[in-house]
C-alpha cells in the first residue's frame, strides 16, 4: 500500500491508523540484524504526500532518522511526536506471520504493533488528519521517527540541534495512561582475572569463576540490602541483576578468565556515573579479590532515567487533551523500562510518554 492525502481523507482516522500499521509491520526493521531504511523511506513518502517538509538524517549507513514537519502559521508552540522504527526479533512460536499484521476482533497482532509501530502509525495518522483538515495551527508539529531505540538509542542521542520543541510526546505503550517517568539502565561487563592451572593441581592456579562468584554474591547482597530501599513512586525500585556469565574453556583447566553481565536499572534521580562507582566500591570491599574483578566495559543501552514533574504545565496540557477525547482523566504512571524520553529531557524539551497497548506485552510472542 501507499499513503497520501486522498487516502487520509477517504478513511476514518481509526481505519487509517490500521492501514498505516499494517504497512509498517511488513518492514522487518529488526534490531540489530535489520535496517530501518525501508520503513524510513515509507514514512518519508507518506508524510511528504500529506504536505510535510521531510528530512532524513543518516545515523549509520542504512539507518536514517525521519523528521516530518507540518508547518504552522508561526509564533505558536512546537510539538514533537517521537517514537522509534526498530523492533526486537520476532522469536519462535507465533500463531501467524509476525511481520504480517493480523486483525482479530478488537486486537491487532504482529511484531511492533505495540512497541512501537502502533504509536508511530497513530502519530502519522494524526499529522495526516490535521493536514487534511485544512486547519492551520500556530505552531509546528514535528514527527520524529528514530532508529535504534531497542539497543543504544543512537537515533535519539543524535538528534540534530535544529530539532527543538516546547513539548515532546514519546510514543510507547501506556495502556491509556500518561507516563511522566521511566527507569534507565547501565550494563557493565565484569571481568575476573585468574591464573590457569591443571584441574588436578588447583592450588597452582587462581580460579576466575570462583572470584566472579564471590563478586556477584557481594553485588547481590548490595542489591537486596541497599537498592531495595531506593523507591520511586511511579517507576518502582532500583535493581541489579546478573543476566549472563561466561567462564572456563576446558574441563581439565582452572579457568583464568570469567565474564559476567550486570543489568542495573536506575530510577529517576540516580546518576549513571555514581551507579558505576557504587559497583566498583562493592568489588573493592570483597575480601580476597585483590583487584582481580573489575568493570571491563559497558554494553550500550537506551540511556538513563528521567521524569517530569506532575505539576509541569505540559503534563496538564497532555492530560486535558486525553480527557477531552476519552472522557476520563488519565492516571499518571511511570515505565519500568527505558525509552527515549531522557534524551529529549536532556535537551530541555518537556516530555511525556503516551501510546496504545499494554507494556506487559512488550517483546513477547504474539505481540
- Domains defined along the chain, listed by start: 5-182+305-361 (3.40.630.10), 185-299 (3.30.70.360)
| pLDDT reported for residue 56 | 98
pLDDT tens figures, 177-209: 999 999 999 999 999 999 999 999 999 999 999
Q: What is the pTM (predicted TM-score) of this model?
A: 0.90
- The residue among 262, 136, 254 whose CA lies nearest residue 200 is 254
With H, G, I as helix, E, B as strand and everything else as coil, classify residue 278: helix
Start-to-end CA distance of the chain, whole Å, equals: 23
Angle subtended by helix axes 37-49 and 117-133, to nearest 10:
20
> Which run of H or E residues covers position 196?
none
- The residue among 40, 30, 28 whose CA lies nearest residue 124 is 40
pLDDT tens figures, 233-273: 999 999 999 999 999 999 999 999 999 999 999 999 999 99
Q: Quick one: CA dihedral 231, 235, 237, 240, positive or negative?
A: negative
Nine-digit cell at 252?
581439565
- Residue appearing with cell numbers 487516502: 7
The torsion angles phi and psi of 150, rounded to 5 degrees, stand at -75, 0
> Beta partners for 206?
195
145 vs 160: CA distance, rounded Å = 13
pLDDT tens figures, 313-352: 999 999 999 999 999 999 999 999 999 999 999 999 999 9
Show Cβ contacts of residue 61 under 8 Å, excluding neighbours closer than 6 positions. none
84 vs 262: CA distance, rounded Å = 26
What band does 6 get if pLDDT is binned at 50, 70 and 90? very low
Amino acid at each position: 500500500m501507499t499513503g497520501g492525502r486522498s487516502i487520509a481523507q477517504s478513511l476514518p482516522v481509526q481505519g487509517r491508523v490500521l492501514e498505516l500499521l499494517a504497512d509498517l509491520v511488513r518492514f522487518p526493521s529488526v534490531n540489530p540484524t535489520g535496517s530501518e531504511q525501508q520503513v524510513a523511506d515509507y514514512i518519508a513518502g507518506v508524510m511528504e504526500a500529506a504536505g510535510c517538509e521531510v528530512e532524513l538524517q543518516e545515523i549509520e549507513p542504512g539507518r536514517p532518522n525521519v523528521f516530518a514537519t507540518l508547518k504552522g502559521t508561526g509564533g505558536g508552540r512546537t510539538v514533537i511526536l517521537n517514537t522509534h522504527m526498530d523492533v526486537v526479533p520476532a522469536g519462535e512460536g507465533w500463531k501467524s506471520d509476525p511481520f504480517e499484521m493480523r486483525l482479530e476482533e478488537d486486537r491487532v497482532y504482529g511484531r511492533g504493533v505495540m512497541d512501537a509501530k502502533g504509536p508511530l502509525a497513530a502519530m502519522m495518522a494524526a499529522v495526516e488528519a490535521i493536514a487534511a483538515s485544512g486547519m492551520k495551527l500556530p505552531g509546528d508539529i514535528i514527527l520524529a521517527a528514530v532508529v535504534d531505540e531497542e539497543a543504544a538509542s543512537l537515533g535519539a542521542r543524535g538528534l540534530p540541534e535544529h530539532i527543538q520543541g516546547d513539548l515532546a510526546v514519546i510514543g510507547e505503550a501506556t495502556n491509556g495512561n500518561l507516563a511522566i517517568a521511566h527507569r534507565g539502565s547501565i550494563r557493565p561487563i565484569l571481568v575476573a582475572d585468574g591464573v590457569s592451572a591443571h584441574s588436578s593441581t588447583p592450588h597452582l592456579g587462581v580460579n576466575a569463576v570462583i572470584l566472579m562468584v564471590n563478586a556477584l554474591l557481594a553485588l547481590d547482597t548490595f542489591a537486596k540490602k541497599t537498592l531495595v530501599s531506593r523507591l520511586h513512586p511511579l517507576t518502582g525500585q532500583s535493581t541489579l541483576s546478573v543476566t549472563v556469565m561466561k567462564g572456563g574453556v576446558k574441563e581439565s583447566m582452572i579457568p583464568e578468565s570469567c565474564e559476567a553481565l550486570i543489568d542495573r536499572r536506575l530510577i529517576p534521580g540516580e546518576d549513571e556515573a555514581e551507579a558505576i562507582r557504587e559497583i566498583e566500591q562493592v568489588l573493592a570491599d570483597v575480601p580476597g579479590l585483590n583487584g582481580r574483578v573489575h568493570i571491563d566495559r559497558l554494553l550500550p543501552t537506551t540511556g538513563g532515567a528521567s521524569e517530569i514533574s506532575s505539576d509541569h504545565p505540559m503534563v496538564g496540557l497532555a492530560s486535558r487533551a486525553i480527557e477531552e477525547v476519552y472522557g476520563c482523566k488519565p492516571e499518571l504512571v511511570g515505565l519500568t523500562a527505558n525509552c527515549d524520553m531522557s534524551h529529549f529531557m536532556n535537551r530541555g524539551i518537556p516530555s511525556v510518554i503516551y501510546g496504545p497497548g499494554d507494556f506487559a506485552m512488550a517483546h513477547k510472542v504474539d505481540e
